[in-house]
Each structure stands twice: as structure tokens, then as C-alpha cells.
């Protein structure tokens, strides 16, 4: 009986705990749009660190400096961060509705000195 009550209490806890919105869920739910809005309104770009991977410089060949993978959630938070003043969660929700969602991937590549010497 004790194990059964433990099982049900764990099960109840799992159902009652609200899980944060997954950044890859699409289309974004109203709750996810609000979360992205408030994250962006902190005007702290540190959250983007989770979406950017910096790579070490190679000994030869082109240097792939960084790869940025922005989900619709991250893009919305970034847009919200650019607004100061008259922008609300309701306006963010209206702006998001009907918009096509996509993933934006940015790759920064730098030429190393070895490659530059061989250019014509």
C-alpha cells in the first residue's frame, strides 16, 4: 500500500508541475510567446549563449568561428529584446499569429592566413 501511494503522489506531481515550453515546439503556444516576450524584455542577451556554439581555431583551413541556431522561440525573444517602451506581451502575441516559423542558422567563417596567401 505504501508503494502504491508513493507511485500516485509521484504521478500527481508530474502532472501538476508545469514544464517550460520547449524551444522547438511549433507553432509556438500562447504561453511560449509570453515566455519569449518576458525573456526578451529583460534586455539580457545571455540567454542567446545557449543557441551559439563557438569553435576553436584550426591549425589550417578556414576558421568556423561560431554556429548560431535560433529557434522560433529564441527569435521572438530577440525581437522582444529590441523593443523598449510601448511593446506588450499581447502585442507580441498578435505579431506572432499568422507568421511563418522557421529556424535561422548562421555560420561565421573566417579565412586563415594560410588561405589568404594562396588567393590570386
The total of structural domains in the chain comes to 1
Cis bond before residue 115 (omega within 30° of 0):
no
Helix (H) or strand (E) holding 107: strand 104-110
Tell me whether residue 90 is in a domain.
Answer: yes
* Cα distance between residue 67 and residue 108, in whole Å: 7
In DSSP notation, 66-96 reads EEEEE-HHHHHHHHHHH--SS--HHHHHHHH
Q: What is the pTM of this model?
A: 0.67
| pLDDT tens digits, one per residue of 45-68 | 888 889 999 999 888 888 999 999
Tell me whether residue 73 is in a domain.
Answer: yes
| Mean pLDDT, residues 20-41 | 81
Percentage of residues in the chain having pLDDT higher than 70: 72
| pLDDT tens digits, one per residue of 78-107 | 999 988 888 899 999 998 888 899 999 999
Q: Name the residue range of residue 109's domain.
A: 20-117
Amino acid at each position: 500500500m505504501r508503494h502504491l501511494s508513493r507511485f500516485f503522489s509521484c504521478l500527481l506531481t508530474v502532472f501538476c508541475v508545469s514544464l517550460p515550453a520547449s524551444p522547438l515546439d511549433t507553432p509556438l503556444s500562447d504561453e511560449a510567446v509570453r515566455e519569449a516576450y518576458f525573456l526578451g524584455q529583460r534586455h539580457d542577451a545571455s540567454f542567446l549563449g545557449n543557441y551559439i556554439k563557438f569553435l576553436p581555431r584550426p591549425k589550417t583551413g578556414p576558421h568556423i568561428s561560431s554556429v548560431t541556431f535560433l529557434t522560433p522561440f529564441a527569435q521572438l525573444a530577440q525581437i522582444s529584446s529590441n523593443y523598449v517602451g510601448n511593446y506588450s506581451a499581447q502585442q507580441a502575441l498578435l505579431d506572432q499569429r499568422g507568421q511563418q516559423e522557421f529556424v535561422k542558422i548562421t555560420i561565421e567563417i573566417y579565412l586563415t592566413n594560410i588561405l589568404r596567401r594562396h588567393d590570386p
